[in-house]
Amino acid sequence: MIQDSEIRDLLEEKVIQYNNPKFIKSDPIQIPHQYSLKEDIEIAGFLTATISWGNRKMIIRNAQNMMNILGNSPYDFIMQKKHNHIDRYVHRTFNEIDLNYFIKALHNIYTKHNGLEHIFSTHADSNNFQNSIHEFKRIFFEIEHPARTQKHVSDPFKGSAAKRINMFLRWMVRKDDAGVDFGIWKHLDPSQLSCPLDVHSGNVARKLGLLTRAQNDAKALMELDTSLRKMDPKDPVKYDFALFGLGVFEKF
């Protein structure tokens, strides 16, 4: 039986191994790292996180293509009053219909709701961002939208682990000296973050006894969050680097 202290020591070691600038080169987070303007970083991060499922090299390539479509100035593009219709391939089931709507929805958010950070910070609970994610989806689709596009924004209140949005929130909120996560959203606390739960982090967490639930859903996320917060209540999601690295790079 692995002791709790041994699990924590292992994960702390792996956080140091993977939470460093070398990680950026192989991860979709490299896309928002191209920018310095806050709004460019968060828009590039949100769009990249949205298509972050499947082959990692394909995700990075297609996310970069999206940035090219937006003239490599995503905030300026979003804020244009007139948007040319985009008819180019994007990523798997996220197609040009979805991207065209995302541009309109982001324009609405920055002109009517004071931007992405304001929405998430306004609706955050003291313990986590699940309510923020739920309210974000409601606001994101408050204007006329194609029904098909709703599937690309998860809702934890409907049972989803919301992996991609939680990953985006980690990028924006978590701040340390490692240089991977941005930490540019100052009105939110890293202690409220939830782990981006996917097949890799979930499988490793189960093998380590941090998670017992079989499905990677909202209930599993709550269980994993509880386990990680026991080890580090101030920065629990740093362990995402360890779980992901053990699963993807070490086939733990």
pLDDT value of residue 85: 83
Beta-carbon neighbour count of residue 70 at 10 Å?
Answer: 21
Rounded Cα distance, 12 and 25, in Å: 21
Task: Locate 193 and state its tokens.
Answer: 């973050």
Q: What digits encode the pLDDT tens for the residues 205-251?
A: 999 999 999 999 999 999 999 999 999 999 999 999 999 999 999 88
Q: Is the pTM of this model over 0.85?
A: yes
Q: Is residue 193 within 8 Å of 174, Cβ to Cβ? A: yes
pLDDT value of residue 88: 87
CA dihedral 119, 103, 173, 134 (to 10 degrees): 50
Phi, psi of 189 (to 5 degrees): -110, 135
User: Which candidate, 169, 141, 215, 165, places its Cα nearest to that of 53?
Assistant: 165
Task: Examine the pLDDT at 9 and tell me if it is beyond 70.
Answer: yes
Rounded Cα distance, 28 and 125, in Å: 28
Q: How many structural domains comprise the chain?
A: 1
Containing domain of residue 40, as a range? 4-248
